[in-house]
Structures are given as C-alpha cells and as structure tokens.
Amino acid sequence: MGIKPDKTALQPQKKPKLLPSRKPATPKLPASAAPPKVPSPPQAPAKAQANSWLSLLGALALLCGAAGLTVGGAWIAILLIVDPDAIVGLNQYLPTWTRIPVANQETFQTLSEIRASIRQAGRIPGEPISLGNEVKGANKSATATDLLIPVLARRPLCQATSTLDSAKNNCEQIVELQVYRPVEDARRQIKQEQSYWLASQIAVAGPEESFAIAPLVDANSENQGSARSLPLTTIQRFEGKAPTSGVWLLLSGELVRGDDTIAYGRVAHYNPDRDYLGWMLEWTSSTGQAPAWKAITSGATPELVVDQTVGLEPQFEVYQVQPRQFLPDPIQLEAISLSDPAFDTETYGKIMTLARSGLWSPALAWFKSLRQASEANPDLWSNAAQAEMDFVRLHAEATQAQAEKSWASPSQQVLTNLIDGRWARALSVFQASVDNSQEVASLLKGDADRLWNRVEAALKVDPMQTDAKAWGALIVGAKKDKPAAIAWLKKQPQTNPAAIARISKLLDRLDPNFSDVIPPSTHLSQVVGTAEPLKQINPADWWQLKNSSLKLEAGQTWYEVEVTAFYDGKRWQRSNFSDLKFSKADGAEPLWNLLGLTTDPQLQILVWTDAGQQDTVFATAKAVQLQGGTIRILAAGDPLPAPTAAQPLPRPLALTTTALQWTTPAVTTLADLNQQQPKLADPILQALATELQQSNQLPAGVTATPAGLLQQSEIGSWQVQQIDLTGNQQLEAVFTLDPETLATLQLDQPDSQKRPAGRSRTLIVSDTGAVLYNEFDGTAQQSLLAIADLGDGGIPVLVVDGSAGYRLQRWSSKKQQFE
C-alpha cells in the first residue's frame, strides 16, 4: 500500500544520566549479639542429589523463559522496523485495557491517501461503507466511523451483463476488503483532515461454480460445474432485522445458466471490539434472491434465510447465530438441519420421515401434536426440537400457499396438492374431467420421482391412507400399466377389496381412450348414516339413475342407509335435510351428485360386537330418495353375520370409504398419569371419583378422592386416552369403561336408568377437571363408539350411537357442549 515506516521511531535516543547508587552500610553487631552457629543436619546423598537436580531444572526453566522473552521481543522489534503497522494486528487478540497504542502518525492516512495507495497498487478503490463505531472526528462537533473499503480489480475479457443492481458493470470484482478505524483527536498531530489506520483486511474469492449451481443440478447429472471461483461484484451491509452483534456484510454476484439467473455470494462479519473481519458462510440462491434476516424461530435473535427453492419445491437454508470458542469473533452461523434429529424416538422418526420426503404440512401436524403433549412432559421437548419444528413450519407455509392458489393448469393444481400431502383434494382434480385425467397422466409419466418419495413416506408413517395408495397406484400405472399398479396395490398392508375396486376405476382414467362423462359435481363422497338390512324392496320407492336397474348379484343383500351427515363439497350438512328441494321428477342425478356418490359409490357397513370387535362388509349405492327431510340410500352388498339369541345384531353404521379417518389418541393408565403429570391428573381423578359416586358406581370402601381411587390397583390400571377435542390446545381425558369393568362395579341404579347390555360408558374430562361429556349419569341414552377426523381441518368429532341412530358430535365453543 505504500505505507512508509516511521523514521523518527528508529533514531537513537539519548540515555538519561543516573546518579551513582550507594549501597547502604550494614551495621555491625557486637560479638556477643552474633547468633550462634547451628550445625546443619547431615543429608542423605540421594536427597542431596535430588535437590541438586531440582535446582538445575529450575535454573533451566528460568533460562528458557528469559530466552523466549528475548526472542519474542526481538521478533516484535524486527517486525516494527520492517512494518510499523503490523503491531496493530496484535490488538485483536488483546483485552481492551492492554491494547498497544498506535503511535506512528506516518502510518495514518486520509481517505484520499487510502484511495491513492490502492490505485498505486494497480487496484480500484470501491465506495466506502460505514461500519458505525463512532469516535471524535477532526471537527469536534462531528464524529467519524469505521470504514470498509472494497478493493476491486478488473476482470479480463469481460463484457458487462449484470442485472443484479444498478452498478456500472460487473467487470470489476472485489478482491480484498480493508477496514480502517478513525484516529481520535488527541492522537492527531500533523494532518488537518480525518485520518485512519488499517485495522483489518481479508482477501476475497467467490464460491466455486459447482457450489453455486448445486440446487439446480441433478445428482446424477454429468455437468456438476467446475471448481473455478466465481467473481463477487457487489457488497452491502445487512440492514433491517440483522443482529446487532457487530456488522454483517453481504457480498454477491450472479450467474446466468440457461433460463435461470443464480445469485451467489459470501457473508462476512466485522467485530469492532477486536478489529476482526472474517467470513461466516457461502450462499447460493436458485431464485436469484439475496439472503435475508427473518424471525423464524422463537429465539431473540433472527435467523439468516437463504431461498434455494426450485420450481414448486420449497427449499430454505436457515442459519442461527451461535457462540463459538474463537477470541477474535466469538460467534458463528450454524444451519438448522434435519440430519441430526433432536430426539431418537419412534414418533420423532416419523416426523423426520415426512419432512425429509417433502411432506412438510403432515410433518408440521405431527410436530404440533408432539409439542402439545410436551406441555405436560417437558422431557419430550427441547430448544433443538423447537428449531426443527420452526424450520418445518417455514416450508409448510410455502407448500400450503401453493396448494391454496388457483392454477390454470390441472396438472399444476394436482402437483401443488400432492406436494402438500393433500391426497384426496388432488384426486378430486384428477377426476374432474377426462382432460384433467389425461394431463395428470402425462405429469406422472415424466415427473413422478419426487411424488413417489412422498407416497412411500406417507404409507410408511400411516399404511391406512387409501388416497395415498391411490396415487402410488396411479404413478405405477402411468409408468408401467394397470396390472403392475394392481399388483403393487395388493402388496400394500391393510388394503381391503373395496379400496382395490375403487382405485381400479381410477386407473382406468389413465387410458387415452377413456371417455366416461363426468357429472358436474366431483367431490369425494363423505356420507355417514345408519344401515338396516332389507329382505325385499319396492323399486318404485327409489330414485334410480338413468340406464340402471335394481338387481342383486348372487350372495348379496339390500341395505337401506338413513343419512345422518354428509359433505356437499363445501361443508358438512347434518339431518334434518328439509332445506333440500329435490324431487323424484328431477331424477336421481342432482341428489346423487350432492352426496358425492358419482365419485365413489362404495359404502362400508360396520357393526361392533359386545367384545368390542368390529365386523365390516362392503356395499355399493344403487339409488337414493329424499322424503320429509330424510335422505336414504339403497345399497347392495355382502350380508352381515347372522344374529343369534346370544349375540343379537347391533345397529350397523354405514359410511363411505373416505367419510371418516379414525383417530388413535395416546393411551396411558390412571396410575401412570398421576405419576407423570400429577398436576394434570388430580382434577381429572377428582372429576372421575365424583361421577362414580353420584352414579352409584364407586366400589364399596373406596373414598371419592384421587388418593382413594388410586389405592385400588384395578382402578389405577384403568386406561385413559388424551386428545384435544375442544380446540383449546389442551388435552382432554377420555375414560371408557367396557361392560366387563362395569359389571365389577356392582351398579345399583333404577332399571329405568340402566344401559342396554353390551354398552360401554364414556366420560370426557377437561384438563381443569370439568366434565364435558357424560354417559355415567344415565341421562344420555347414547354410547360413544369412536373418535374421528372429518378431514375438514376442524377438531375431531365423536361418533355416538343414540336412540335416533348414529350421530357425529363436535364441540361447540359457543355453547360449551358437544352437538
């Protein structure tokens, strides 16, 4: 840089004269006062020899220490002679109160002198960037700040093509960064302009080309990019939400690759407390966007987010500011990664399986459930788990926004829904028209790998997802043929014949010659009702589809299904349906379409035995009718098991294959709940004890208190399910006592309040001990069969069997009850 050594610092200095020192006289003692001589005790030869060695080692240590100080001092002296500014670099390693003052004023330079030095070296000085850290300037009423000077060099054979910013061109690349600190007033003796001294400098090189293009390059591609360093052409300070610890700097460049413009660069950090400027990370963005500081996690410090999204696949790199053991700059940027999960549990493993496959929204749903459970058990959560959940949420918000967007292309609509794990909604688009089916078939033939990974992950976590299996079969069918798809489908666990029949019809739509006319309404059929076997029917009572006949196949029977609730494509409707204005004159099609039977006419007929076992047969809707606000469906299917005197036939539940998704809440015992979460268990146990006492079900000798219940080992082993049924982010407790347990309680109730044989009783209690649902008191003539998810984004519903048939009941926050 052309900085001259300080000649005055090399001039010999005159030594001050010193007065001769006088040694103080030692007073003589009289002979009588002289201390008597005490003979030394004899020492063993070995001990004397050891003492001699210790003395020798001590002398050697002192000699080495002195030699080290002498050599170190000589080295610093030589360094100062060759480069007086070099001593400034030592300051970054020293505490503030021990730093070496810069006394050589010829090493100070004004801004114009700094620029001239850079030009003299054959480089181009860039525009200074203020780094803050104000001190007194030349004008006592003004202040000066640390400055960063980018040093640029012209690239050979370059033609300006940059659109990244409004700079003159991108033929000048940054090759060095220099940080200058202003000289304080008291130390300025010569120059009238503000002077600076060089505090820190680093060489600049951009990331390798292979790193910059990595997000866009397939792992199997032969063109992975070269190892050449790409130029960095612009630099700026991070503003806005950047952390306040030091100064964060963004260096960037851009690379045009085909139709893609890739932004890349490096992030630097300046620590003014140590005069240290260093690199933090390299970055690349396939979207051409610069990194930004955003509050992604719940921490006090924002995170640095790099957008590497490619097409419809969101991909973000998120970096947190973390401490490190490095004195010049004790912080670093650390990426949030899913490669090293916070917990090694089965549930956490399922979450990671979903997230790594790109099913961000389902992974987030599992995360929320786990986070809710951890409120009662802190051992299930950590800061690392929270960071990973927030990382998943960032991606889920992107896929959800894409899925909710209206797309002109059906294939894009299907693709965005599949990326977000919305299997059923994607199927409805696929089935909306023949053109849609053919366009999606082309999509599956050419771009199915990323979708296949999602299907595999979804089925690995939950093999019961029929809609996910449908897409797996469609992908195999598009890539190969229908027989291969059916063969794959039959290998999937828990796949029933009804699902295979339904998916087989979907596979037909992949055929280019498929020409079925699809009615206007194409939403999936979601119908719940009560079934009743019929020995015979009157065809005139039913509304039939055109060109259809009401005939049974061999071995089949008729079922009349009275509809309790159904999904009309926009919302759930519950009986009474008197507002529907259909008539037989309109034909069966309008009502048929409204029920979604066009898409899927398959129904399941279920019965529960006394032992709690579930029997299921399958039927197909054949006709419908609407009379007096009641909707009925006529279906033909396999017969139910024949009733006997010992085993009467329960009332069957009917539902279409996609109507409900059974939930499986977490299960524990009363004793374990009390041991693990005593504050939560106490009000729940008290509510249970009170209800057992008031309904005369408390065993003899047991007090109606939590402690009294837990003293009975039988009661302590009762199971309790925990699930949020009210939407308040708290878990409710669900107790269900089966008939055998009820029999052991020696119930003493009037006959009018006794339940029919074989019915269980359920009690639902809030986390505060409030009773939300009660079958113990005998007033509610119904029995809870199961808890289900309607798939509409709302809280779960109760499936209950009452005097009026099967009903779906959901918690009303307004009325504070299930209805």
User: Quick one: pLDDT at residue 18?
Assistant: 34
User: Is the pLDDT confidence value at 622 over 80?
Assistant: yes
Mean pLDDT of the chain, nearest integer:
79
Chain-centroid distance, C-alpha 783: 39
User: Is the pLDDT confidence value at 394 over 90?
Assistant: yes
Token pair in block for residue 250: 């963004």
Judged by phi (left if over 0) then psi (alpha if -120 to 50, else beta), residue 132 lies in left
Residues 6+ apart with CB under 8 A from 114: 125, 149, 178, 180, 196
User: Which range in 99-108, 189-198, 282-291, 663-672 is most confidently predicted, on average pLDDT?
Assistant: 282-291
Q: Which amino acid is at 731?
A: L
Q: pLDDT band at 405, cuts 50/70/90?
A: confident
Tally of CB atoms within 10 A around 517:
6
User: Is the pLDDT confidence value at 525 over 50?
Assistant: yes
As a residue count, the chain comes to 819
- State how far the Cα of 326 lies from the Cα of 737, in Å rounded to an integer: 62
Q: For a pLDDT cut of 90, what percent of the chain falls above it?
A: 32
Q: pLDDT band at 759, cuts 50/70/90?
A: low
pLDDT tens per residue across span 218-263: 655 556 678 899 999 999 999 778 898 899 999 999 998 877 889 9
User: Quick one: pLDDT at residue 408?
Assistant: 82
User: Is the pLDDT confidence value at 19 over 60?
Assistant: no
Q: pLDDT band at 743, cuts 50/70/90?
A: low
- State how far the Cα of 460 lies from the Cα of 357, in Å rounded to an integer: 11
What is the average pLDDT across 304-311? 93
> Could you tell me the pTM of the whole model?
0.56
Nearest in space to 264 (alpha carbons), one of 241, 293, 287: 287
Tell which wins on pLDDT, 400 or 585. 400
Q: pLDDT band at 519, cuts 50/70/90?
A: very low
- State how far the Cα of 405 lies from the Cα of 387, in Å rounded to an integer: 28
Tally of CB atoms within 10 A around 737:
20
User: Quick one: pLDDT at residue 605?
Assistant: 87
User: Quick one: pLDDT at residue 40?
Assistant: 42
In 221-355, beta strands by DSSP E = 234-237, 247-257, 260-271, 276-285, 292-294, 303-307, 316-323, 331-335
551's enclosing H/E stretch is none
CA distances from 126 to 129, 396, 763, 779 (A): 9, 42, 75, 84
Quote the radius of gyration of the chain (alpha carbons, Å).
41
Token pair in block for residue 269: 């950090």
- State how far the Cα of 750 lies from the Cα of 765, in Å rounded to an integer: 25
What is the average pLDDT across 259-270? 93
Q: pLDDT band at 58, cuts 50/70/90?
A: low
pLDDT tens per residue across span 455-481: 999 999 999 899 999 999 999 999 999
CA distances from 768 to 685, 728, 764 (A): 11, 12, 12
DSSP state letters, 56-79: HHHHHHHHHHHHHHHHHHHHHHHH
Of 410-419, 603-612, 808-817, least confident by mean pLDDT is 603-612
- State how far the Cα of 731 lies from the Cα of 764, in Å rounded to an integer: 11
CA distances from 394 to 290, 294, 403, 794 (A): 17, 11, 15, 22
Q: Which amino acid is at 688?
A: L
Nearest in space to 127 (alpha carbons), one of 115, 135, 138, 119: 115
What is the average pLDDT across 206-215? 91
User: Quick one: pLDDT at residue 33?
Assistant: 38
What is the average pLDDT across 331-348? 92
Q: pLDDT band at 76, cuts 50/70/90?
A: low
Of 1-5, 58-62, 465-469, least confident by mean pLDDT is 1-5
User: Quick one: pLDDT at residue 305?
Assistant: 95
